[in-house]
Chains A and B, each alone.
Chain A
């Protein structure tokens, strides 16, 4: 039932053609499977905007979704993940299935006003999830 490039000929007149990116995204990340999601927040919501001058908004993103029974290569999961899946299914259901977790992060620069009124620009590592995996 997946859309294929050949189906574009059947779409109604005037409809926008599906982008290659969207097509690849659906092909590579079936609905509900482990993948990155956006979570945009404003520091004003946390009332941290008195000290954090920039950025005003922050998208740390998060990983969510089901880990497939046969963990695919694109998740880069170690063999242990496959073994844990087998243990859960065949031997002991109390052993949890592998979890969808971040595999890589990006840093974030933050501009803050310090208690002594000095101003600090700092780069913090591991502030934004950039890739997900099953572990």
Chain B
């Protein structure tokens, strides 16, 4: 049962009430204060110290990330060993500000041309970008079909106007779309990796995205389908190269096999078929 001795013990001990402070477990014994000693998970929690929960993410974005979590992990939250991707970190950002351009009577714009500002300050230097997408939530299958026929153009720049940005920071390209995870809501992804890569490589942590989506007018319809009314999120698929991040593939042994298998003489790696190779006495 879930109420094992461990959980029950933690619950009745009272030591964790009212709130456990993981940073207190990491303090140097001399009383010094050094958050640099904290592993990444505790650094995340360190940033919350004594504070309110703070901003809450968009519910659709949270839904998407929960779905992604279920796809990537086992029931116990362990990364699936059968995964094919190389990234060990995925970050989803919502636009911190939005400035809509005047539509100007443009009837083909599915989503009014907008400048989206993404603050990517949470991306650490050890997190290397492998892929990035703009993610639109689409409510209905019909809208998704309509959205799939849309074309879009993108401009990604660093902070400031394109004229103030360093040469080469402003990029534009036609975007291709693909359907992605989930059924309700459905998702439309636009790959922006080639545009974002040079900005992140140049340590730009604030990125302005100008996106213009145009959709074909359906026959007999006075206006084109408008499937993309909500501003998109920006998702970064990253490879964290720090020591705390797992490397390569691994397998999670069952409890019984964990006891039965013996490491090799160095005690580092389990001996393949270890017991079978031991001489019997």
Contacts and interface: CB of A to CB of B under 8 A. Distances in A.
Interface stretch (B5-13, B178-186, B214-222): B5-13
Given A47-B18, A109-B69, A118 B78 contact: no
Interface residues of A, number: 60
Nearest to A117: B55
Contact of B16 (A36, A46, A107): A46
Contacts, number: 189
Contacts of B53: 50-51, 113
Contacts of A10: none
Interface in B1-36: 2, 4, 6-7, 10-11, 16, 18-20
Contact of B77 (A28, A54, A77): A54
B89 A45 contact: no
Chain B contact patch, size range: 35 or more
Contacts of A41: 6-7, 10
Given A28-B260, A35-B259, A103 B76 contact: no
Contacts of B240: 122-123
Interface in B225-253: 240, 243-247, 250, 252-253
Contact of B4 (A29, A38, A50): A38
B88 A122 contact: yes
A49 to B, nearest CB: 10
B123 to A, nearest CB: 9
A46 B77 contact: no
Given A25-B256, A115-B55, A39 B93 contact: no
